[in-house]
Amino acid sequence: MSSLTIKQVEAFYWVARLGTVSRAADKLHITQSAATKRLQELESACVHPLLENIGSRMTLTQKGREMLVVCEALLARLAELDALKKDSPVSTRTLLVGLTEVVAMTWFPEFMKRMRKTYPDVVVQPALVHRSSVLREKVLDGTLDLAFVPDVGVSAKLMRVPLNIEPYAWYAPVGTFPEGELLSLQALAACPMIEQEDRSVINDVCRELLSSCGVTPQRLSGGSGVFGTAALVEAGVGVSCLPQRLMTSHVAQRRVQRIETTPAAPSLRYCAIAQRQPSSVLGAAAAEIARQSCVMESREQGQ
């Protein structure tokens, strides 16, 4: 095998991870032809094929999988050397973090406080996105370094750190049902159910719960935001399943009514996700800080 270059190794690594040459080229900020050339040079230097085309994606051969392990280790060491080289009081790094509205309104401020204290040289750049499916895709394609999403449908290709469990409850316009009464889901379905956007995880979970109980309510679209949906509930449009912690003040101010049901409203487990790659060391550390932030915020809420 002739000598390989770091640029060839990087091209192979990102094609293996992202599945196409065009996506790898975008990640490396080079042209597609340049990425193809580097990949061809690496493959020509190897005895066995490393990649094969299956449909529109490139997948690893057995030798390709073995090569990927070696490349990951090499790039990890290079990333560490680069971090040491840049380690100075004026050096800065940017961490692109995706989050949902629920995370932004609960423990994210604690996360930011801890990140500033632990990594003063890191600039956290948040991206607030309502659809968790979009956040998962952005982490997979390398657009985001880290994201906090419901622990549903997470690819095995991603590193995953369990975070908090977010409790939800049903909410109705004030006076719709007797206070303190335990309702069946069939009784709750007498009102239209306001859902968030089609690809919302909580929508899917609620639909599955209602279906298991034989309940088929009238469904209304309430948009993408928790507070916009809550406003529709307050206006008397219908009932909705919303995160309890964001609705505390609404209930206290008698703007909406919390409804207890049997079976109870679902909860969502959240997790931090990042790519399994050499440059994700900071992402893994930030995920652990997120876990600590959830614990601290939950303790403060319980006091």
CATH class for domain 93-164+269-301? alpha beta
Cα–Cα distance between 249 and 240 in angstroms, integer? 16
Q: Per-residue DSSP letters for 35-81?
A: HHHHHHHHHHHSSS--EEEETTEEEE-HHHHHHHHHHHHHHHHHHHH
Does residue 298 or residue 67 have the better pLDDT? 67
Residue spans in the chain of domains classed CATH 1.10.10.10: 6-85
DSSP 3-state assignment of 173? coil
Residues 195 and 203 sit within 8 Å (Cβ to Cβ): yes
Residue spans in the chain of domains classed CATH 3.40.190.10: 93-164+269-301, 166-267
pLDDT of 90 reads: 44
Run of H or E including 118: helix 108-118
Could you give the percent of the chain with pLDDT greater than 90?
40
Question: What average pLDDT does range 256-260 have in this prediction?
Answer: 96
Provide the pairing of β-strand 122-128 with 257-262: unpaired
pLDDT of 2 reads: 59
151-179 tens-digit pLDDT: 988 888 888 889 999 999 999 999 999 98
| Measured CA distances, 124 to 83, 109, 120 (Å) | 17, 12, 10
pLDDT of 218 reads: 92
Cα–Cα distance between 295 and 181 in angstroms, integer? 32
pTM of the model: 0.69
Does residue 77 or residue 139 have the better pLDDT? 139
Residue 253, pLDDT > 90, answer: yes
Domain 166-267 bears CATH identifier 3.40.190.10: yes
pLDDT of 84 reads: 60
Q: What one-character DSSP code corresponds to residue 278? A: G
Question: What average pLDDT does range 81-92 have in this prediction?
Answer: 57
| CATH of segment(s) 6-85 | 1.10.10.10
Residues 266 and 202 sit within 8 Å (Cβ to Cβ): yes
Tokens 């369990």: give the residue.
162
Q: What one-character DSSP code corresponds to residue 171? A: E
